[in-house]
Structure 1
Amino acid sequence: MTEQTDVRAGRLLVATPELRDPNFVDTVVLLIEVNDDGALGVVLNRPSPVPVAEVLHPWAGSVADPDVLFQGGPVSKDAAIAVALLVDADDPPLGFRPVVGRLGLLDLDTPVELVDGTLSRLRIFAGYAGWGAAQLQGEVDEGSWYVVDSEPYDSFLDEVGSMWAAVLRRQPGELAFHATRPPDPGLN
């Protein structure tokens, strides 16, 4: 098990009840890049009402359900980031950049026919979440985020509305209890 403050690519950030920023309340964020300059991730549990077919038609038949664009975060909302899960980690298609294991990013300029049969799952995000150098670690240290290991299919869960609780429920120890915590424990 990895320490719950170890911020690195491939891990999940799960918003704590103390996090009040409306961009991140009850979110689960997949970290896709972490380096000395900062961190970048996508919010996994904010589907938009916009079907992928309306914006990126060639990819409409390749995305996991629900087949809509997801709101990846408040930065560059007009940019698209594709998160993909490979069928075989030893056979990545052109345009694939690994993040961890079979999970990575796919360049949407890659012709769809070149990735056909190589992807197990694909999801497309409009925008991303970004943090400057040491900013994210500061937010973790102040208690805004739980940092947990990801599972390969976390980025593609069908029931995105219950993702926050589902990720917490599978955690060891006291962290799992937070999955059933009411929004305002003081009202109990």
Structure 2
Amino acid sequence: MEEFNIHEVAEENNLDVISTTTGKNGYPQSVKYAITGFPNFSEAEKLAEKYGLRITTFWKKAGWQLYVRDRNTTFEPMRISAENYGDDYMAFDSSSAESFYEDEVKPLLDDINSLEDLEKFVSARKELLDEIKSIDETQLVIACHGHYYETIDKETMEWSFDSNTYVIGVIKD
């Protein structure tokens, strides 16, 4: 395999270069560069095969300059669901709009004790339903305590939550 410059390969392919460490606290240790910014997993596979690179998932906490790397290989894009967020979160796909009133509104109406609470409840549920109606089959709407939180892709190469960022990229071993 021919030698290459990771920065030049990234620039030629309109991708990003990140600095990585083996230090689990983000502290510089055995720093190496990696390429990220792939639009999908197949593009990462193509570049990895062409240059003999390993596909892996890197992570860092907010405020860290370096991503943490390990020896694991990643074989597919990240598939994010409500479980990745925690107990108070729910995910809705594009087909959820059909049964939204029966599943997410009607069963909770008996718990509302004032007109003001009803108004807040309806407003939050309306916003949530509007978001669900606006997505396609490749996306999910995430809600927390019945309120819209964010819209995500079901399969992704990068995901951030709770001060952690995860990104799939390629690195030379």
Q: Normalising to structure 1: TM-score of the pair?
A: 0.23
Greater helix content: 2
